Amino acid sequence: MGTVQEIVYLKDKSPLDGTLPQFIIGDFPDYCGPQWITDKPKWILIPFVNIPCSNHCCTVNFIPLSLAYAETGHTVQTQSAGPKHAIPYIII
């Protein structure tokens, strides 16, 4: 279990134009493998995985992560977010 630290896009690319990120950087406290960044030994580079369908006619690109915690827009409607609040920011 870990936390996403960065979502890295190519220069001049954005999720708003339908571009997928290059990779994601995650912080995994229990990780004990080789270091990717020497001063952040628990950070791991998570690349996209490209898998063909069973008929080998198309492929799917995905990042092998599973969401562990989230709230719907309805559950945060009455909560305050921002500096000095329990919820520092909301990403939609």
Report pLDDT digits (tens) over 17-72.
Answer: 888 888 899 999 999 999 988 899 999 999 888 899 889 899 988 888 887 766 67
Q: What does the alpha-carbon distance between residue 74 and residue 71 come to, in Å, rounded to a whole number?
A: 8
pTM: 0.61
**Partner residues linked to 60 by β-bridges:** 51
Identify whether the C-beta of residue 50 lies closer than 8 Å to the C-beta of residue 23: no
Q: What gap in Å lies between CA 30 and CA 36, rounded to an integer?
A: 15
Domain count of the chain? 1
**Whole domain around residue 76: which residue ranges?**
1-92
Identify which of 6, 1, 11 has the alpha carbon closest to the alpha carbon of residue 23: 6
Residue 7 CB-half CA count within 13 A: 10
